[in-house]
Chain A
Amino acid sequence: MATAALSALCSDTALIFSRYARQTLRSRFQMLFGILMPLLYLLFFGPLLTDLPLGSKGDSWQVLVPGLLLQLGLFGASFAGFAVLIEKQSGVLERMRVTPVSRLALLLGRVLRDAAVFVFQAVLLVLAALVMGLRAPVGGVLIGLAFVALLTVSLASLSYALALKVNTPQEFGPTINALTMPAMLLSGLMLPMTLAPGWLDVLSHLIPFRYLVDAVRAAFVGDFASAHMLYGTLVGAALSVVAVTIGTRVFTSAGA
């Protein structure tokens, strides 16, 4: 019984994943749009930092690129829920919900598609960064991509959950904006928080993304056994467990 349910969940998830993966592949624009903002930062903001003392190990690219990778995940995945709002309005979501398809698969299939899309975009961003002058250990870059996947899974789950709860894009968009902008500034995505005055540094420790970006920066300079790495992994894993649990609750509750 349990294995039958599990195999149904896996095949339903694969079905939902491939439906939305095909949707993404049909739209090159959608596939590449997400990297536009971090790419602009890389090209026009990155060169400003090369000679500045940033108070951390490694050169400016090893500080900036990890931030841009997580920025990609933060802004991209947070808005993932818009697709669910559109499907709610067109009736696609309800049509799927009256079939026996696993409710959890409706969430997981989408979330895994998002993770695949943003890891792909992150790879392109790293390639562009290499051209700009980034040098980092391969293992560190791979860890960075894993953190992008973890962050995407977390934020996309929360975004889909919020999209199921609100009724209009007018409620959804401003809520996401109000959460992502401070999260970006307070987590030190652009410049490390080691530059910050004490109060700002303390405040930024309340933002989970701070630990993720510190971990990826540590990975990019080869500090694989550092405390930053440990805290980042723990916070990232905890965040994804909490987020997927919330997403699952919302997707499986009958009235959503």
Chain B
Amino acid sequence: MAIISTVGLARTFTTPQGPVAAVRGIDLTVRPGEIVGLLGPNGAGKTTTLRMLTTLLPPTGGAATVAGCDLVRDPAGVRRVSGYVAQSGGVDPNLTVREELVTQGRLYRLPRAEAVARAAELAADLGLADLLDRKAGALSGGQRRRLDIAMGLTHRPAVLFLDEPTTGLDPGSRADLWELVRRVRAEHGTTVVLTTHYLDEADALADRLVIVDRGVVVADGTPRDLKQRHAGSPDATLQDTFLAITGHGIAPDESAEPGGPLGPTASAPTAA
């Protein structure tokens, strides 16, 4: 039983220079309680995929359901069952942690008293209790990220989407954040879909990796599987594995890319 499934999910942007296919067709199946990492270079279509799955961007092709709600027919349902933390976060730096958490509860239509109680509960749970009256702009990077995630968890979503959750964090804060994501899953059974271009993050945090390149899924499996299958050994580095799968490194260096199309490596089987 999948909690997220997409078939041929696609998005083409019209630009003055003509249509640009940011996402060509994503087939994705996520089981309840999984932590899935969407891995790929900048521009691969990871963020566009998340923006579609969170109803921010209407797809131009394909279909998807999130926790039983159809993305196109029932976007309001998708919003109720899923949380989203964008790369830029999304808190007003001039407001206090308390005010943002309470407002977020109200945006999810909690009555005022419940929103206040939920804010206190989230703050205690995410180590923000002593910071409630501090302005969001005065938080450290790690604290700020925990606040962003608290905002996304306000309504106890079944699915949490995280877009590059640790970009810009110091190594200690990154490790703390990984721990937090694992704990959320362990305590609430929350399904987590995150994007990253950090290979160590993908390796350490995700149960399963979905490698996206130029708008399509090019490989899908546990980190160990992918290393075995594509780099010949479970002890291979993820960097070598990634190179074997995509024919180029994770860094978005266009000049290093071979001229050919996606190639035979694009036909990796999709795990159910």
Residues of A participating in the B interface, judged by any CB pair closer than 8 Å: 8, 11-12, 15, 19, 22-23, 26, 87, 89-101, 254-255
Contact = CB atoms under 8 A, between A and B. Distances in A.
A95 B90 contact: yes
26 contacts: A8-B109, A15-B106, A19-B103, A22-B99, A23-B92, A87-B92, A89-B88, A90-B89, A90-B91, A91-B86, A91-B87, A91-B88, A92-B90, A92-B92, A94-B86, A95-B84, A95-B91, A95-B104, A96-B90, A98-B56, A99-B79, A99-B104, A100-B109, A101-B107, A254-B56, A255-B58
Contacts of A15: 103, 106-107
A90 B94 contact: no
B209 interface: no
B108 A100 contact: yes
B57 A94 contact: no
B89 A97 contact: no
A11 B57 CA distance: 26
Interface of B: 54-58, 75-76, 79-80, 82-84, 86-95, 99, 103-104, 106-109, 151, 155
B91 A26 contact: no
Nearest to A26: B94
A98 B88 contact: no
Contacts of A93: 90
- Interface of chain A, main secondary structure: helix
B14 to A, nearest CB: 11
Given A15-B106, A15-B107, A98 B94 contact: no
B106 A94 contact: no
B107 A96 contact: yes
Nearest to A106: B107
A162 B106 CA distance: 27
Contact of B151 (A8, A12, A26, A95): A95
A99 B58 contact: no
Contacts of B103: 15, 19
B22 to A, nearest CB: 13
B55 A98 contact: yes
A96 B104 CA distance: 8
Interface centre among B54, B75, B89, B107 (most CB of A within 10 A): B107
Contact of A95 (B55, B76, B86, B95): B86
A67 B91 CA distance: 39
B54 A98 contact: yes
Given A90-B88, A98-B84, 18 more contacts: A23-B94, A89-B88, A90-B89, A91-B86, A91-B87, A91-B90, A92-B92, A93-B90, A95-B84, A96-B90, A97-B56, A98-B79, A100-B79, A100-B108, A101-B109, A254-B58, A255-B57, A255-B58
B77 to A, nearest CB: 9
B101 to A, nearest CB: 12
Contacts of B104: 95, 99
A92 B95 CA distance: 12
A93 B92 CA distance: 10
A94 B90 contact: yes
Closest 7 CB pairs of A and B: A95-B90, A91-B90, A91-B88, A99-B107, A98-B84, A254-B58, A101-B107
Contacts of A100: 76, 79-80, 107-109
Nearest to B161: A98
Nearest to B86: A91
B146 to A, nearest CB: 15
Nearest to B83: A98
Contact of A99 (B89, B92, B108): B108
Nearest to A27: B94
Contacts of A26: 94
A254 B94 contact: no
A24 to B, nearest CB: 12
A251 to B, nearest CB: 13
A254 B55 contact: yes
A255 B89 CA distance: 19
A98 B58 CA distance: 13
B233 to A, nearest CB: 41
A66 B91 CA distance: 40
A11 B94 CA distance: 24
B90 A90 contact: yes
Contacts of B93: 90
B130 to A, nearest CB: 23
A23 B58 CA distance: 31
A255 B58 CA distance: 6
A254 B57 contact: yes
Contacts of A99: 79, 104, 107-108, 155
A101 B99 CA distance: 17
